[in-house]
Structure 1
Amino acid sequence: MLDMSDDALEVVQRSFTMQMRVESWLGGELLSDDVPVADGSEERDSSLAVPERVTLTVPVRDRGVSWDPTIDPRHPLAAYGQQLRISYGVEVGGDFEWITRGWFLITESSADGDTVNVQAQGLLTLVDEAKFAAAFQPSGTLASTVRSLVEPALTVEIDGTLTDRSIPVGMEWDDDRLGALNEVLNAWPAVGHVTEDGLLLIEPLTDAGDPVLSVTDGLGGTVVRWQSTTSRDGAFNVVVAQGESAAGVQVQGVAYDYDSNNPYWFGGDFNPLPVPYTYSSPLLTTVAQCRAAAEATLQRLRRTSSRKLTITMVPHPGLMIGDVISVTGGGLTSAPCVIEVLSLPYSPDEMTLTVRVL
């Protein structure tokens, strides 16, 4: 969860006064410190390659200023590299406490009558759209390869608990830079996300942690519902990670899903036989690396198969995908859940979460 004072945390669990602050930057230069926002929302979905989406509605004219982005390539709302830093203000004791939600790259903006519609995405968009112009042959270590793939578009920060290792020689990627980054992270194993300060943080994959918030069905207008869709498509109960040793011998590691909270768990009623998901990477050169990658892949893929709840509640500007919360409702009593999808309005309205039961 984003940093908030105790007073602000108390305020956002009931009705409160909010305000948005949107800054526009281009190449490190502040173009505007007060983009007027009439309406908008922020969507985050952990299943997407670029998880963050923002939409803004801005008046064409405000306080004598034209917000039509077509008048100048350096206009604060043009889509030529302009980035938005968005903060959510919560009134506490007559003043506003500002919670920075993050940095977002403007991908499209257009004037329509009296309004300007702005679309923005997370900063991983810069990596996603930067395909390789020629074959990329990594060298060095996992950490140095991540930096080569991402910087200078994003500054990389690597958690000190991760163990770096050398990249096997002879590897090559032809096109997809973001796909190459994800392959490195899967093999490490690690996960990356863009922080509210615009840094790409690489850290171990985990669902552990104390709940940052308790949510109760019916309290303060909160509604908790089970998602209704169930399917066997793409289901599995075993992950097999394969690689190749320096001697050219195939190596592999296997991880079984023994978590009975997952309806597809191995040994349960889903299927008494192994139903594998196979993952292969030349970055895996030992059995130990394959086993670690299999365990991490299993943990990551559980997100698509675990039971999920939809929560509608008063907006909480400190919540982010990946946060663990405690949920009471739908037959659950203080069950830990992790946020997979969130929709945060930028005007007085309800917030929606999709959470996965741990």
Structure 2
Amino acid sequence: MRLLDVTTALALEGSRPADTWIARAWRGNQLVVDEPLEIIDWSAQDSAGDNTKIAQQLTLTIADPAGRLGAWKYDDPLSVAGTEVQLIYKVGGAGAVNFGWFRVTGNEPEEVVDSRALDEYGYIEPDGDLPPHMRRVYVTPSRVRLTLLDRTINPDLNKLEQPESPRAGATIISEWRRLTGEHFPTVVDDGVVDRAVSTKLVYEKERLEAGQDLLGRISAGYRMGGDGECHIYPLDTDPVLRIEPGNAMVSVGRKQLLSGLYNRWVVEGKDQGDGLPIRAAANLTVGPLAYGGAHGKAPFFYQSEMIGTIADAAAYAEELRDKFLRTLALELSVSMTPHPGLQGGDRVEIGCPIAVGHVVYFTGTITGISRSGDVLPRETSLTVSCSYLDILTGLSRTPWAKHLTDERPELTWDRMPATWGTLPDVTWTELP
């Protein structure tokens, strides 16, 4: 979550005067446009390609009455050759939030050529249709559409020119800093636990992808902060904000998708002795997704020559099934009042009204944020991924704790493995 002072955080919880933007254009350490850019309309998205990568994208339409900001040359003020826009979000009646630094990746002017006749004593337009003492002047008032990405675009462009490996004594965080330090400073948030990395690891071409893979090994992600710094943050944290009816929430919805709902995992390999094909499978046998039930048959296939025995294949099929059940999630779509502090990857608590007249609270991870507006910011829309297990527990109010002590629990909907740990408590409140 972006840093907020106390006054600003309190202002975001209630009604306030209109919020506004301040946008300044820089190249290197120099302002390239003296005055703040005049924003006509805008949109911003945080999107999570996966749990460890948060990309921030912007589209700005800015006024250009003099027709000077639409780029022709690569050294023009708002060209794509290194220009960055610094965005500051001013909360009405309170303070300001440093929203971030974004590199211009597209400059598209929308120019309207117009002309007007001006008085100019002594001038006669040759072969023109104007009377004496009048001159025709052409003007090109315009607006410019800018597309921008956060600073992680820079190490993504800067590919590795040859394979590299970690140095002796390197850790995951030190390797991240070595790979990306030319492009931004890195801040390690509380809760991230570093560890050593093998010198036998080989990075090929993708600098940013190599760093992302490293962070995944310590259950950490990365995202850009408000001052152009990169934050390494733990994926599993306490909620940073409660969003509920009467407190910032405008609406909440949910969505189910058929895609990816498997109920059989088939693992194939080659026998390490005779080289013949081997295969093993693990099924869901009970519940709404049971293999061959109402959901039908939806197998997932995995093949690797590293699988050399039937036992290996069976064990990995069960591992894939375990992972599916642990990570099965439901997406909530939340509309709320404008909030510049929230970022993709933040954990939030969502209060969902349900049919019986109560609010049940689910903790989830923000996987997408959409913001937009004209001159003024409008609503903030969130996509929040919540554990399906938490959803079931909250709706039923009957946690299945008795099954957690079974000696050989099956991975079904009414019997869950002990490795899932203790079920979360669910808080219920009456709606007013």
Range of TM-score over shorter length:
0.7 to 0.9
Which residue of the partner structure matches residue 23 of structure 1? 24
**What pairs with 1:29-68 in structure 2 (closer than 5 Å)?**
29-32=30-33, 34-47=36-49, 49=53, 51-61=55-65, 66-68=68-70
**What pairs with 1:214-225 in structure 2 (closer than 5 Å)?**
214-216=243-245, 222-225=250-253
SS state at 1:91 partner = coil
| Runs of 4+ deviating beyond 4 Å | 218-221, 235-238, 264-269, 274-279
Which residue of the partner structure matches residue 102 of structure 2? 104
Which residue of the partner structure matches residue 212 of structure 1? 241
What letter matches 2:58 in structure 1? Answer: V
**Per-residue deviation, residues 20-48 of structure 1 (Å, max 9, x unmatched):** 10122211223345111111011001226
**Counterparts of 1:87 and 1:236 in 2: how far apart (Å)?**
48
**Counterparts of 1:189 and 1:57 in 2: how far apart (Å)?**
38
1:147 aligns with 2:177: yes
Deviation, structure 1 residue 210: 3.6
**Per-residue deviation, residues 239-265 of structure 1 (Å, max 9, x unmatched):** x9xxxxxxxxxxxxxxxxxxxxxxx99
Identity rate, percent: 19
Which residue of the partner structure matches residue 258 of structure 2? 230
**What pairs with 1:285-324 in structure 2 (closer than 5 Å)?**
302=327, 305-324=328-347
What letter matches 2:62 in structure 1? Answer: V
1:125 aligns with 2:129: no
Which residue of the partner structure matches residue 165 of structure 2? 137
Which residue of the partner structure matches residue 158 of structure 1? 188
**What pairs with 1:263-302 in structure 2 (closer than 5 Å)?**
270=289, 302=327
Deviation, structure 1 residue 55: 0.3
Deviation, structure 1 residue 212: 1.4
Structure 2 stretches of 5 or more lacking a match? 112-141, 268-282, 292-298, 305-318, 388-432
Does 1 or 2 have the higher relative contact order (CA < 8 Å, sep 6+)?
A: 1
1:11 aligns with 2:11: yes
Judged with a 3 Å threshold, the aligned counterparts in structure 2 of structure 1 residues 131 and 315 are, in CA distance, closer, same or farther, namely: same
Deviation, structure 1 residue 340: 1.5
Judged with a 3 Å threshold, the aligned counterparts in structure 2 of structure 1 residues 120 and 188 are, in CA distance, closer, same or farther, namely: same
What letter matches 1:353 in structure 2? Answer: L
SS state at 1:73 partner = coil
Judged with a 3 Å threshold, the aligned counterparts in structure 2 of structure 1 residues 326 and 145 are, in CA distance, closer, same or farther, namely: closer
What letter matches 2:79 in structure 1? Answer: A
SS state at 1:343 partner = strand
Aligned residues: 306
**Counterparts of 1:321 and 1:220 in 2: how far apart (Å)?**
18
Contact kept in structure 1, 2:56 and 2:150, CA below 8 Å:
yes
Deviation, structure 1 residue 190: 2.6
Deviation, structure 1 residue 6: 4.2
What's the C-alpha RMSD, in Å, of the aligned pairs?
3.6
Contact kept in structure 2, 1:50 and 1:124, CA below 8 Å:
no
1:355 aligns with 2:384: yes
**Counterparts of 2:175 and 2:72 in 1: how far apart (Å)?**
38
Deviation, structure 1 residue 53: 0.6
Judged with a 3 Å threshold, the aligned counterparts in structure 2 of structure 1 residues 159 and 323 are, in CA distance, closer, same or farther, namely: closer
What letter matches 2:347 in structure 1? Answer: V
Which residue of the partner structure matches residue 190 of structure 1? 220
**Counterparts of 2:285 and 2:173 in 1: how far apart (Å)?**
34
